[in-house]
Amino acid sequence: MINIAVVGTGYIGPVHIECLSRISGVKVVAVVDANLELARKTAARYNIEKTLEDYRDVLKDPDIHVIHNCTPNKYHYGITKEAMEKGKHVLSEKPLAMNQEEARELVEIAKKNKIVTGIDFCYRYYPVVQEMAVRIRRGELGDVRMASGSYFQDWLSKETDFSWRLQRSESGESNITADLGSHWFDLVQFATGLKVAEVIGDFASLVPVRKKPKRQVVAFEDVKETATENFKAELEDYSAVLFRLSNGAPGSFTTSQACAGRKSDTEFQVYGSTCSYAWNHKHSTELWIGYRDKPNEVLIENPVLQDASTAKYAPLPAGHPTGYYEAVMHLFQDYYDALNGNDRSAVARPTFETGYEEMKIVDAVVASNKKRQWVSV
């Protein structure tokens, strides 16, 4: 049995626990949260033995083998570093760290200590996104000519909405480019197999002054009446990026958390010399395939019609949709297979190297927005 401690039990920590409960050979034996009350609630809900306030206590425990780091960005580097130095394997939430220097150091420490790393870029684990990646590698798209898309949400659209993500001290030099942009650029790099080479970014704060609650709020919490103080925007809640991929192909991406009605609406399109692919989280089971000389197609996730390597990510009979929990669960399954020395990922699973690449993109976009010019990644 592989014993796991989940550190951070706000929004995403419990998602990790749900998904881990479906993987054989692993068990969450401890939850840690700086807010002990939250940790206690989570432990009670999932029947977890140990509830702790200080992550150092799980690092001391020789019976804990893996740490899932589900804390805000600010704590990723410190907790992950200490955990790896104590010989714990780590699956981190994204973004990997506050900046590329921290991320690079984490990659080096992992290598030195032979740590198996993972990072939760879960959107690439939707079955038809995996299928798109395999088909592009088989040459079915032809040359990648262009990529575009967006990621819109609405949970920070009111001035009474707040998250630690909006604070420089907690999030780093970027809010949304790091938060949602890292997911989106992972989708494009994963699907195309190309890297983002150059960027020019433009940031804005669509909600310039917010009402910051005087108590802790977890992500997506519907904050009812509570004492607040005025908070002047420190980081962007809108980001637009033009970019060039490593083969020279151009692309564009826009994101904001202040788009009323958009919930968690991400989509991306890749245009090639032979055909086009598009995927949209609102219709996450569908891969749109566009042609010039014949009718377009929609592949609905289907273990029989998908490549043998990606069929395992769509385990239900055709017509039975999988969703967000399954995407995260399959990412974890690939991680624990790798930990057991049997990497069975269809294309590639996301590791700290992937997290480092994403941090380089975020840092380049931040620098570009400041300088008002193109910056190479």
What single-letter DSSP state applies at residue 27? E
Residues 72-101: x/- map of binding to ligand NAD (CB under 6 A)?
Answer: xx-x-----------------xx-------
Give me 86's structure tokens.
């104590």
122 sits near ligand NAD (criterion: CB under 6 A): yes
Compute the least distance from the CB of residue 15 to ligand NAD, in Å.
7
70 sits near ligand NAD (criterion: CB under 6 A): yes
- Rounded Cα–Cα distance for residues 243 and 217 (Å): 35
Three-class secondary structure of residue 48 per DSSP: coil
Residues 140-179: x/- map of binding to ligand NAD (CB under 6 A)?
Answer: ------------------------x--------------x
186 sits near ligand NAD (criterion: CB under 6 A): no
Compute the least distance from the CB of residue 120 to ligand NAD, in Å.
4
What single-letter DSSP state applies at residue 300? E
Give me 121's structure tokens.
């870029």
Among 8, 127, 149, 172, binds ligand NAD (CB under 6 A): 8
By CB under 6 A, the residues from 222 to 241 that bind ligand NAD are none
311 sits near ligand NAD (criterion: CB under 6 A): no
> Are the CB atoms for 109 and 90 separated by under 8 Å?
no
Give me 107's structure tokens.
């990659």
362 sits near ligand NAD (criterion: CB under 6 A): no
9 sits near ligand NAD (criterion: CB under 6 A): yes
Nearer to ligand NAD, 239 or 306 (CB): 239
- Rounded Cα–Cα distance for residues 369 and 201 (Å): 5
Please choose, out of 34-42, 106-114, 195-203, 244-252, the segment that lies near ligand NAD by the rule CB under 6 A.
Answer: 34-42
33 sits near ligand NAD (criterion: CB under 6 A): yes
- Please name the residue ranges forming H helices in the chain: 12-20, 36-46, 55-59, 76-85, 100-112, 127-137, 168-171, 176, 182-192, 324-339, 352-371
Q: Phi and psi dihedrals of 177, rounded to 5?
A: -65, -40
Compute the least distance from the CB of residue 175 to ligand NAD, in Å.
10
- Give the chain's radius of gyration (CA, Å): 20
Amino acid found at 97 = A
The contact set with ligand NAD (CB under 6 A) reads: 7-12, 32-35, 38, 55, 70-73, 75, 93-94, 120, 122, 164, 179, 218-219
